[in-house]
């Protein structure tokens, strides 16, 4: 590859090449941190049940680990198997999901459970070979790796952080395809489950020390503030509907303690929930779909 001028930095093939020695040093660093400080007690790391691993992966999307730990246990007490989740109503699922945010994930998880039991007769491994609601390349690879120990290479924010910090110092923007090239080499001959857990834990550690190097990834999306956001209004509306259908006036009344900015977003939030299939209106009242 010739030298490339991107307006600020000059990159050459030599600067971007990664040799086996660098890969080896990186592995040793990651494994050492994992041995000494890894999050070995995370409950979803103690199971090979593909359903339980899938639940954790849906919950961990855009949500911090401490918040997920409590909800994960609550959710599995109520829905311990994919069959039980599939037979639940969306209202029951969203009531348990409340507090995690991004309620569409709960809806997608519910829909996936129904697909697994319906189209694939309870065979989650087979279902993962096909499109599933809310399941992208990372989630699919994660479940297949952590449940079945398949040697997939995957990227999420902490894994990106680990690679960007070590191999792309000073580079302004890094593409996933470049990271994947190195990640694939680094994963060779490593236990796929333990290696990816180690990468995640090491990356989470690096983010605390270096202001999140993953921000230099072209895949990085900054999460908007929750306070005063549409997400907050959407969550409040769903909580108001957990137990019974309500008129629009009654929902507004239930939201009277929210900041004025949220009340101003009420109609937009309600319309968005309806568009996403989370709520429906019947006989003048709104209810969970």
**Average pLDDT over the chain, rounded to whole?**
87
What Å distances lie between residue 66 and 59, 69, 199, 228, CA to CA? 11, 5, 18, 23
When mean pLDDT is compared over 41-45, 223-227, 259-263, the highest value belongs to 41-45
Q: What is the Cα–Cα distance from 109 to 92, expressed in whole angstroms?
A: 13
Q: Is the pLDDT of residue 170 over 80?
A: no
Distant-in-sequence, close-in-space partners of 15: CB < 8 Å, separation ≥ 6: none
Residue with structure tokens 């010739």?
2
Report yes or no: 263 and 253 within 8 Å, Cβ to Cβ: no
Q: Is the pLDDT of residue 256 over 70?
A: no
Q: Is the pLDDT of residue 82 over 50?
A: yes
Q: What is the Cα–Cα distance from 198 to 38, expressed in whole angstroms?
A: 7
Report yes or no: 101 and 59 within 8 Å, Cβ to Cβ: no
Give the pLDDT confidence of 138-159 residue by residue, as tens digits. 999 999 999 999 999 999 999 9
Q: Tell me the three state secondary structure of residue 229.
A: coil
Q: Is the pLDDT of residue 7 over 80?
A: no
Report yes or no: 33 and 202 within 8 Å, Cβ to Cβ: yes
pLDDT-derived band at 10, boundaries 50, 70, 90:
very low
| pLDDT at 53 (0 to 100) | 98
| pLDDT at 264 (0 to 100) | 66
What Å distances lie between residue 219 and 130, 143, 166, 186, 265, CA to CA? 24, 21, 18, 21, 28
| pLDDT at 135 (0 to 100) | 96
Give the pLDDT confidence of 112-128 residue by residue, as tens digits. 999 999 999 999 999 99
Give phi and psi for 256, each to the nearest 5.
-65, -20
pLDDT-derived band at 185, boundaries 50, 70, 90:
very high
CA proximity to 129, closest of 150, 108, 159: 150
Judged by phi (left if over 0) then psi (alpha if -120 to 50, else beta), residue 122 lies in: left
Least confident of 24-28, 41-45, 232-236, 285-289: 232-236
Residue with structure tokens 């929210």?
258
Burial category of 63 from C-beta neighbours within 10 Å (exposed 0-12, middle 13-18, buried 19 and up) = middle
pLDDT-derived band at 9, boundaries 50, 70, 90:
very low
When mean pLDDT is compared over 30-44, 172-186, 259-273, the highest value belongs to 30-44
Q: Is the pLDDT of residue 34 over 80?
A: yes
Report yes or no: 63 and 102 within 8 Å, Cβ to Cβ: yes
Average of per-residue pLDDT across 189-198: 97
When mean pLDDT is compared over 8-17, 59-68, 80-89, 169-178, the highest value belongs to 80-89
Q: Tell me the three state secondary structure of residue 276.
A: coil
Distant-in-sequence, close-in-space partners of 161: CB < 8 Å, separation ≥ 6: 203, 204, 206, 207, 212, 213, 214
What Å distances lie between residue 54 and 43, 82, 113, 116, 196, CA to CA? 13, 10, 10, 12, 16
What Å distances lie between residue 237 and 58, 92, 104, 182, 231, CA to CA? 22, 15, 14, 45, 10
What Å distances lie between residue 220 and 84, 88, 103, 217, CA to CA? 36, 35, 21, 5
| pLDDT at 224 (0 to 100) | 60
Give yes or no: 188 in active site: no
| pLDDT at 267 (0 to 100) | 83
**Which residue in the list 13, 25, 57, 119 is annotated as catalytic?**
57
Give the pLDDT confidence of 224-241 residue by residue, as tens digits. 666 667 788 888 889 889
């Amino acid at each position: 590859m010739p030298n490339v001028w991107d307006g600020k930095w000059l990159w050459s093939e030599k600067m971007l090449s990664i040799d086996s020695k660098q890969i080896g040093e990186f592995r040793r660093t990651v494994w050492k941190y994992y041995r000494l400080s890894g999050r070995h007690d995370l409950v979803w790391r103690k199971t090979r049940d593909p359903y339980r691993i899938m639940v954790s992966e849906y919950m961990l999307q855009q949500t911090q680990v401490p918040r997920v730990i409590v909800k994960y246990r609550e959710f599995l007490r109520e829905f311990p198997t994919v069959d039980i989740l599939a037979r639940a109503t969306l209202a029951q699922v969203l009531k348990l999901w409340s507090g995690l945010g991004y309620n569409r994930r709960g809806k997608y998880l519910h829909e996936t459970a129904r697909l697994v039991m319906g189209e694939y007769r309870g065979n989650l491994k087979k279902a993962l070979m096909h499109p599933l609601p809310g399941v992208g390349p990372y989630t699919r690879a994660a479940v297949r790796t952590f449940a079945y120990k398949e040697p997939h290479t995957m990227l999420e924010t902490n894994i990106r952080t680990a690679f960007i910090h070590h191999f792309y110092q000073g580079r302004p923007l890094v593409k996933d395809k470049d990271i994947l090239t190195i990640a694939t080499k680094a994963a060779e001959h490593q236990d796929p489950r333990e290696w990816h857990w180690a990468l995640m834990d090491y990356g989470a550690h690096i983010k605390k020390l270096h202001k999140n190097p993953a921000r230099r990834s072209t895949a990085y999306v900054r999460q908007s503030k929750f306070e005063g956001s549409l997400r907050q209004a959407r969550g409040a509306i769903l909580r108001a509907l957990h137990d019974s259908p309500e008129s629009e006036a009654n929902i507004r009344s239930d939201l009277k303690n929210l900041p004025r900015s949220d009340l101003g977003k009420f109609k937009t939030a309600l319309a968005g929930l309806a568009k996403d299939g989370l709520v429906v209106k019947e006989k003048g009242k709104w209810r969970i779909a």
